[in-house]
Amino acid sequence: MLARDRKSQGVGPRTVSSSVRPATDATRVPDDASLLKMLYYMKLTRALETRIERKLYRQGKIVGGVYVGRGQEAISVGAAMHMRRGGGEDHDDIVSPSHRDMAVFLMQGVPPEKILAQYMGRKTGLTRGRDGNMHMGDLRHRLIAFVSHLGDSIPVAAGCALTFRMHGTDQVSFCFFGEGATSRGDWHEGLNFAAVLQLPVVFICNNNQYAYSTHVSRQMKVERVSDRARGYGMPGESKDGNDVLVVYDAIGRAVERARHGEGPTLLEFLTFRMTGHSAHDDAGYVPKVLFAEWERKDPIRRCEDDLKGRRLLDAGAVQAMESRIEGELDEAVAWAEAQPYPSPEECLTGVYHEQA
């Protein structure tokens, strides 16, 4: 079934000469523009989150928690490449990101300055100061806001997919979570529900091996999150989450299944959280050797080297891309810092629907 899907995929593997064939398990590779786009968004995500976590937070400009996805950028970027957008309610996919999927927000069209205003509690942030950090959503960007109760968005994502099934469209619901969330009852209920009703959901696990301080071995007895897929009667795979092409490939196949009415897929991407749980956490419980080991597998450098190998860019082009990003972020930070806070009495509004 999966092999047939691969063949039916319109964007087939690019023909690349053996001399520049990259070291990746991916069986299909996007076009050059897409490859460059993926690198750009991984770099933008890293740079934005680095500013937030290591600069603005330390400067006291972000008052609440900060959770970033350093080292995990390939997963949300590779997945977001497959999200259909810009075609209206009966066409666009829907996304339920986790708190470590910043790239999804950027690729769904949320400008960095709006995200920064959100982090700073400003009136023009996505939640108008009602909530902080990655707790943001916007249906115009087809993004459902995450809640701290991990796993809650699994049944919600299934409900979005249920609507697509009812309407008979080929839209897909993308649902992200970490391996820690898979211990929640809602996660189980949501996967089972989606499988029983054969709903078009792609379940995407960022297995970064630590849930706060708890190692994955204390989270589950099975070796892989994807081992659980069989229990729900859906296909499951575990893949290298630090290779954006592998992610792109695996998500693409799951999306095809979903669009063709073949139901949900559980994909686990192995990666590593290259920072603490949040900005205040020094991750002293993580053996240093692991950081060193995963630093060598950094998804951005791998992608960059790969693209250099394909002769899509050189050192100068990389530098130009990074300069462009830093310039964009300078402007975004300046804009966000100039934004007003909400007025105190706005606390009382918007609990219920208000007549326009």
The site for other proteins (CB under 8 A) is made up of 89, 94, 126-128, 130-131, 135-139, 144-145, 147, 149, 152-166, 173, 185-186, 189-190, 192-193, 196-197, 350-353
Q: Which is nearer to other proteins, 94 or 225 (CB)?
A: 94
Q: What residues contact 6, with CB distance under 8 A and at least 6 apart?
A: 27, 28, 253
DSSP states along 73-141: HHHHHHHHTT---SS-TTT--EEE--TT-HHHHHHTT--HHHHHHHHTT-TTSTTTTSS-TT---BGGG
| Minimum distance of other proteins from residue 51's CB (angstroms) | 23
**CB hemisphere CA count around 327 (13 angstroms):** 6
Closest by Cα among 142, 255, 141 to 200: 255
d(CA 339, CA 51): 18
| Minimum distance of other proteins from residue 157's CB (angstroms) | 6
| Minimum distance of other proteins from residue 137's CB (angstroms) | 5
Closest by Cα among 315, 338, 335, 337 to 327: 335
Token pair belonging to 247: 């992610």
| Minimum distance of other proteins from residue 95's CB (angstroms) | 12
Q: Which is nearer to other proteins, 158 or 229 (CB)?
A: 158
| Residue-level length of the chain | 356
| Minimum distance of other proteins from residue 153's CB (angstroms) | 8
Q: Which is nearer to other proteins, 141 or 257 (CB)?
A: 141
Q: Which is nearer to other proteins, 72 or 173 (CB)?
A: 173
Q: Which is nearer to other proteins, 128 or 310 (CB)?
A: 128
